[in-house]
Structure 1
């Protein structure tokens, strides 16, 4: 478990680091080691937040920035990992947050910290897995239902999303499929395309017609699986 601590109170931040280290020692044989990175401001944290499994946040000393601002920034980047807001000068419970946000009072008690980790693990277990799509200058995180289909174009793969956006990924269709094949809705009708079976409209002779009218060739070895998906989502 990889945790990020973002707290502009140095003493509180160091104490939480120590408590998380002790909690890690206790859990090493069960839930595993807890790795912690600490930040005194949100700038560094927000540069690469997707690497973390959970966040402990309290910003109450920095002018113009609170824990709420950090939560909003993380959410805008697509983070759905558990976020624990530590209540001190600011009572975050009085505000409204996404379902992945939970609360912990300061000064932090060992038992309550342990409960927050257990709660975070429950949220992680229920979270929808994210798929990473890397463009030249940006990385986009989407879920399986967000992807309509993908097709090779030169040295790239153009991923078309359900909302109509396209993402140019510098990879091959085969490599992208190896990244997402754990989602059973995806299948490759040829070596140059990946389709999301939930969005197939119908099957023709050796072809697939998607819900937006786009047509793809269908290799004979994929016909049976395509029929299975079509029956599942268009029964």
Structure 2
């Protein structure tokens, strides 16, 4: 007898959090139906597969995907390790419902939680992994700092954070590959303007994690993607 996958959506937001605004994954709420189409066309799936490989979640380990959107990174982790216990967190309820439908179609168990990166839905020292893909640039300065501190709080000693985002060594998120507003690059420029990734330049992400108390924070890989340099950063809770 086949076990039915356990896919459910939680909403533990406070009344204050329910009133908060957020930046949707495509920059505009009405663009959500195009999100997965856009990410497939842009080759983002390869970035998620690489992040899952670098995170190296093991059987039975727990992982939280922060800013999970429609669940693509969480599903990449489960594709690589079906025995992992994965939760996706995002403030966008419509995106979470899309993620739930995708998980059910793939026959994998996934918990989805509607909430924010500055209050992670986990007890102290309870997780093995925290991951985030193309979400850090959505946060302002205070939000980035709060997220890093929250990630440290919820990770067990030896737990690892893996962040994938635009930025790193290059100061041009277009990668110098295109100009103007045509095609994928044009859409990307509207969804993620250069100012949104300004705080990811250089060693800013490793420094953010070191400042929160992580150890061994460093860029472990990067890809010169069609919409710019994408950096993979990892750090460990001592």
TM-score exceeds 0.5: no
Which is higher, the Rg of structure 1 or of structure 2? 1
Q: Normalising by structure 2, what TM-score?
A: 0.31
With structure 1 as the length reference, what TM-score do the two structures score?
0.32
